[in-house]
Structure 1
Amino acid sequence: MEEIRRVAEAYYEHLPENDKKLLKNKFNSMDKNGDGRISRREYMKYFKKEKAKGLTPQSIFRALDKDENGSLDFEEAKVLFYIMQSGKAITCMACEKFMAGAYFSCSQCFFDGAKSKFDICCDCYGGKKFTHHDGATFCDNYTLLSESRSPAIAAPAKERSSALRTIEIIVGVASIAGNLTGCIMM
């Protein structure tokens, strides 16, 4: 989670002042009682009202609550806002824990354009605590990012920008996070 905190802080520091004000306003709209903190209850109510998917699980709130006091101050909420903006709110399909670092994805589900992906945490993957389709090839999230660049690099110059736009759509802002290891067949 510390890596995401560092990325979120760097992301926030480079935002235009107007966007920083918008985030402060969003924080204030979540902080219904005006005490300068977002309680677990305010968090759950906000995301239920907004019908946000992927951000309501308790595991995400616990991960965001760095000082473990049961609420989020603005510094902790900056990480939430980064996760909301980047689409980084990924929970394990097997145990439903929030995945803040490396995780594994079924590469067939990732690259076939399916609306749903199959992402699992390292513990569930390593412990084989999941079921998925036969012949699935699992790759860590950093390898998928790296491999998704290959078609663009190999494309002729005329087609490269189109391939890059497609990749940008596939991976979104996740490219901020980093680089790591390989794929494993199951």
Structure 2
Amino acid sequence: MEEIRRAAGAVLEHLFAKDKKLARKKFKAMEEIRRVAEAYYEHLPAKDKKLLRKTFNAMDENRDGKISQSEYMKYFKKEKAEGFIHQSIFSAMGKDDNGSLNFEEAKVLLYIMESGRAVICMACEKFMAGAYFSCSQCFFDGAKSKFDICCDCYGGNKFKHHRGATFCDNYTLLSESRSSAIAAPAEKRRDVLGTIDKIVGVASIAVAAGCIIM
């Protein structure tokens, strides 16, 4: 019986250690996003800063200086921005985990809104702050939507997709997109560069996420 208890304890200890390691990676990734968001905010013109404050106030219906989860959900449902109606995005934005966002925390949310970094794993449906994998066929073949999954779901094969799918990490997609932009005719180059803009954001913080790309 004692041996069983020890074995069970060892398994639990391993699981807790794994969870703590994953939590540290996510924390580092979010800290990088916060730093980027703050840097962008500091360089915004005064009129754009006022616009961000106006957006914050529009979310903060009861004018208590913070955005609750219900206010958050109500705002994005009203705006029909379905990509943001995920609790994992709201939870990731909060630094002190008190269930609401003050303006400093909302800067990150507003930055993500503008930059297109609100990427949700299509397997576990969690917000991906760091590196992730995309189906290259869906990405480059003009599919209606991309198929993006987090490192954990990809590494653990915890997803279902079409047969023969080839998955690439952000760095690879960035490199391939750059090559496509260089090779594209001048009149189409702007569209290709627009595609690069969408993937450059998360790729830049892949190292901070601690995700090892094979």
Identity between Structure 1 and Structure 2 (%): 71
Q: Which amino acid is the alignment partner of residue 167 of structure 2?
A: F
Q: Choose which of 109, 113, 130 in structure 1 pairs with 2:159.
A: 130
Q: Could you give the per-residue CA deviations for residues 85-121 of structure 1, whole angstroms, max 9, x where no partner exists?
A: 1111010000000001000000010001112110000
Runs of 5+ consecutive residues of structure 2 not aligned to the other structure: 1-29
| Distance verdict in 2 for CA 1:180–1:76, change over 3 Å | closer
TM-score between the two structures when normalised by the length of structure 2: 0.78
The whole-number CA distance in structure 2 between the counterparts of 1:38 and 1:138 is 37
Query: If you compute each CA radius of gyration, which structure gives the higher value, 1 or 2?
Result: 2
Name the amino acid aligned to 2:59.
Answer: M
Q: Distance in 1 between matches of 2:156 and 2:36?
A: 29
Match of 2:130 among 79, 97, 101: 101
Structure 1 CA distance, aligned partners of 2:206 and 2:163?
Answer: 25
Check whether the contact 1:140–1:183 (CA below 8 A) recurs between aligned residues: yes
Q: Structure 1 pair 7/54, CA: closer, same or farther in 2 (3 Å)?
A: same
- Secondary structure in 2 aligned to 1:54? helix
Decide which of 40, 45, 62 is 2:91's aligned counterpart.
Answer: 62
Counterpart selection for 2:109 from 70, 80, 89: 80
**What is the alpha-carbon root mean square deviation over aligned residues?**
2.0
CA 1:163–1:180 in structure 2 vs 1: closer, same or farther (change >3 Å)? farther
Shift of 1:183: 8.1
1:143 maps onto 2:172 in alignment: yes
- 5+ residue gaps, structure 1: none
Name the structure with the higher helix share.
Answer: 2
Matched, 1:164 2:193: no
Map of 2:150 onto structure 1: 121
Structure 1 residue 29, shift from structure 2 partner: 0.9
| Count, aligned residues | 180
Is 2:42 the counterpart of 1:17? no
Q: Which amino acid aligns with 2:200?
A: S
Q: TM-score, normalised by structure 1?
A: 0.89
Cα distance change on mapping 1:52 and 1:180 into 2, 3 Å: closer
Give the whole-Å Cα distance in 1 for the aligned partners of 2:181 and 2:199.
Answer: 17
Q: 1:174 to 1:64 in 2, by over 3 A?
A: same
